Structure 1
Amino acid sequence: MDASEVIREEQTGLGAIRIADDVVKVIAGLAAIEIKGVAGMSGGLAGGIAELLGKKNLSKGIKVEVGEKETAIDIHVIMDYGIRIPDVAANIQSSVKDAVERMTGLAVVEVNVNVQGVAFASDPKEEEHRLR
């Protein structure tokens, strides 16, 4: 593990504790995806279309900047149609901050939520027609 991957290293009486960037990304992704109104993480814009990532790729929709004791997190999400985006974004910020601070001991100074798209619920009749 090289120094660019380690976000926090703490020396204890028994040795060192190291937390990698990807650990913080996964914690943040899990906290965000649990919020009602979040359809999924976004891998960014490809050809003007937001790519919806599954639960296996939670860390890909997240960027972290880390100091010795603090971190800033950028989250890219796709939200469900019909929800109030500012409310859901505030819930994401709160959930991610709490989870990362509780699990890593890092102080979260900011959580930036980037809404990359809106997911529409598919019509069951339309799905059935496409399968024929």
Structure 2
Amino acid sequence: MSKNSVEIVVEEGKINIANDIIMTIAEYTAKEVEGIVSIKRGVPKVIAEYFNPPFDKGDIMYGKYEHEPVIINLSVILEYGYKIPKVVAKVQKKIAKNIKAMTDISVSRINVFVRDIVIK
């Protein structure tokens, strides 16, 4: 399901947090991880089209029902010499932790696509 914000119901009312806010938190968090050079939102087109039906290319996806957590798609460029699985795992853990801490939103999955490696 695709929508523009996440709604949180609190005792005093409702809070709507825009997808861009969630993605901004994810991007800033990922950039803090050693080995990450650059961030791009979404899923690379070639990967999205590989799946049948095509994979949702959006930055943020939602489950079929309102109570299901958020899924984030993020593409990264890594610095040469770093262990890809180790860096990506660190990115995923930190993003989930920071989004939960700042918004109280649970992230069920963070799909990280390594798009390139650069030599600094």
In structure 2, the gaps of 5 or more residues are: 46-57
Larger radius of gyration: 1
In structure 1, the gaps of 5 or more residues are: 47-61, 122-132
Q: Aligned equivalents of 1:78 and 1:85: distance in 2?
A: 10
Instruction: Tell me, yes or no, if structure 1 residue 95 matches structure 2 residue 64.
Output: no
The RMSD of aligned alpha carbons is 2.3
Normalised TM-score (structure 2): 0.75
Q: Aligned equivalents of 2:96 and 2:10: distance in 1?
A: 24
User: Which letter does structure 2 place at the counterpart of 1:120?
Assistant: I
2:61 is aligned, of 62, 65, 69, to 65
User: Which letter does structure 2 place at the counterpart of 1:104?
Assistant: T
Number of residue pairs matched by the alignment: 103
Structure 1 residue 64 displacement after superposition: 0.9
Structure 1 residue 101 displacement after superposition: 1.0
Matching residue of 1:54: none
Q: Percent identity?
A: 27
User: Which letter does structure 1 place at the counterpart of 2:102?
Assistant: M
Q: Aligned equivalents of 1:76 and 1:118: distance in 2?
A: 12
Contact 2:44 2:113 in 1 (8 A): no
What's the CA shift string for 1:73-126, capped at 9, x where partnerless? Answer: 1110000011111100010010011011111111111111100001111xxxxx
For residues 74-113 of structure 1, the aligned pairs below 5 Å read 74-113=73-112
Matching residue of 1:59: none
Kindly report structure 1 stretches of 4+ aligned residues shifted beyond 6 Å: none
Q: Aligned equivalents of 1:113 and 1:87: distance in 2?
A: 12
**More strand by proportion, 1 or 2?**
1
